[in-house]
Structure 1
Amino acid sequence: MIIYTGVPAIMRIQRIVAVSTAALLCLTALTACGSDEGKDSLNDYLDNQAPAKNGGTDGPGGSDGNGKARLPKAGSMAKAAQIVNGYGDCSDISTDPHDDDFFPGDETYDSKWAVSERGACGKGTRIFMIKDLKTFQATYKAELDADRKESPNKGHRGKFLLGQDFAVLPDQKPVIRNAIKPGGLLILNCHPDFNPPSGYRKDPALVKGCVLTDYFED
């Protein structure tokens, strides 16, 4: 009788394959073998994948290609006031045109501008609900182009803060600066000479010659 005490051939083959596989992984993934070189390579790769900074159009909240630049959408005056209240005091919205918070001349923003409702919420902040954002932008640009014949620099800093279906006219600079932070509103600028510093957004608006930007110059 012959008693075989060796390791079966199939088990020896499996062990050889396992060792070879581990060695191959060690060579191709240096971090698994304790090398810092692999870590550096991985960190470099992740750094290169980081989104653009300073509000660039390649960063979070960048242009979505439809001229709205991922702007917030309200759907109602109450919701628009709630959004604006995150940037400045807008807790008491009024749609009464006789209210002291309404500015003389705001009644010109009417159906021609595709404005369906006007509101004011104290300290000079006014909100305009918009039915058609492209009509609103086109009307502003046409009015600005006419005014620039006498005042060439008019509108160089832009005018309205825009959401997808509402516009805001604040009377205080801190409100503007708070509103144009990432994820907020953007300024509509239709001046032909507008050119913000690098790193700021300059997304195409719905109307040729107009852009949406997060750059505000005092």
Structure 2
Amino acid sequence: MRTKQALAAAAALLALLGTASCDEGAGPPGSQSGEVPAGKNGGLTGGGSGGDGTASGRVEAQLAKVAGTDELVRLISNATTCTSASTKPKDTTFSDIDAPSEGAAAGIAKTNAEWGIKERVTCDGKDASANGHELLVISDMARFETAFKARQAADLAAGEGDTRTRWFIGQNFAARIFATDSDEREMLSLGTLGLNCAPHYVAPPQSTTQPAIVKGCILTNYVDA
């Protein structure tokens, strides 16, 4: 059964996205598809991070928020299997964000500073032999989006990445889950949206997109099949 916090955040988010195209200054018709209007400084008007480092953009402020890794694990468990949680460096070194040449502890400290990450935790999905879910408590969402944008662009330039939306964000957390498409879609009901910073990324017309804090990044309710 989903938490009241997740349901409230999801309901508020759906209401916000459903009326976004009617807001004054929200952009031209079609801004809810791949044509994303830029706000001030290229992001949402008023976007940025709050005093505690969490997102304060118009859309981000409506997303779910967690108190720490324990609550993040409980939240994710409402969408997919999340067992055997661990915060150990050897378990929470993630190849898609950490430098492969450095030791676990040193690499984590460096990445955390660059990406605005406060805490990390991982947990197992249905297939424990597969990659564990990557769960991050974020202290600075603008910094996280900036670092992710640079990493996604570099991977694409090297022919190693793709344009799929893989990270889901809340006000102060980011999650990449290794699960089924239906589980990923279930993440949206927890008060999260997908983050995508791929250049020229266009979500399908039936989906909804809004500018993220960082110019060139969007938040979308589209989950790639």
Say yes or no: TM over 0.5: yes
Whole-angstrom distance in 1 between the partners of 2:79 and 2:175: 11
Residue matched to 1:178: 186
Q: Which has the higher contact order (CA 8 A, sep 6+)?
A: 2
Q: Is the 2:68–2:119 contact (alpha carbons within 8 Å) kept by the matching residues of 1? A: no
Unaligned 5+ segments in structure 1 are 1-53
Residue matched to 1:47: none
Whole-angstrom distance in 1 between the partners of 2:211 and 2:95: 31
Deviation at 1:59?
Answer: 4.9
Q: Is the 2:86–2:121 contact (alpha carbons within 8 Å) kept by the matching residues of 1? A: yes
Q: 1:66 aligns with which of 39, 55, 58?
A: 58
Number of residue-to-residue matches in the alignment: 161
Residue matched to 2:147: 139
Residue matched to 1:115: 117
Deviation at 1:154?
Answer: 3.2
Q: Deviations over 1:142-163 (max 9, x none)?
A: 1222222232x93411231111
Q: Deviations over 1:48-92 (max 9, x none)?
A: xxxxxx9882259x9995351611000211111111111012254
Q: Is the 2:97–2:151 contact (alpha carbons within 8 Å) kept by the matching residues of 1? A: no
Deviation at 1:126?
Answer: 1.8
Deviation at 1:119?
Answer: 0.5
Residue matched to 2:38: none
Q: Is the 1:93–1:119 contact (alpha carbons within 8 Å) kept by the matching residues of 2? A: yes
1:203 and 2:203 equivalent? no
Written as runs of structure 1 = structure 2, the 5 A alignment for 1:1-218 is: 57-59=17-19, 65-68=57-60, 70-99=62-91, 103-104=94-95, 107-108=98-99, 109-123=111-125, 124-151=132-159, 154-173=161-180, 174-181=182-189, 183-218=190-225
Q: Deviations over 1:160-179 (max 9, x none)?
A: 11111111111113331210
Whole-angstrom distance in 2 between the partners of 1:170 and 1:143: 18
Q: Is the 1:82–1:91 contact (alpha carbons within 8 Å) kept by the matching residues of 2? A: no
Aligned partner of 1:206: which letter? Answer: I
Q: Is the 1:155–1:189 contact (alpha carbons within 8 Å) kept by the matching residues of 2? A: no
**SS of structure 2 residue aligned to 1:93:** strand
Task: Please give the TM-score of this superposition, normalised by the length of structure 2.
Answer: 0.62
Whole-angstrom distance in 1 between the partners of 2:15 and 2:219: 12
Q: Deviations over 1:180-202 (max 9, x none)?
A: 23x53111011122222223220
Q: Is the 1:55–1:201 contact (alpha carbons within 8 Å) kept by the matching residues of 2? A: no
**SS of structure 2 residue aligned to 1:57:** helix
Whole-angstrom distance in 1 between the partners of 2:222 and 2:16: 11
Whole-angstrom distance in 2 between the partners of 1:200 and 1:69: 20
- The 10-residue stretch of structure 1 (104-113 or 139-148) with the greater mean CA deviation from structure 2: 104-113
What is the RMSD of the two structures over their aligned residues, measured on CA atoms? 2.9
- The 10-residue stretch of structure 1 (105-114 or 201-210) with the greater mean CA deviation from structure 2: 105-114
Q: Deviations over 1:114-134 (max 9, x none)?
A: 112111111221211110000
Unaligned 5+ segments in structure 2 are 1-13, 21-31, 33-43, 45-55, 100-110, 126-131
Q: Is the 1:161–1:167 contact (alpha carbons within 8 Å) kept by the matching residues of 2? A: yes
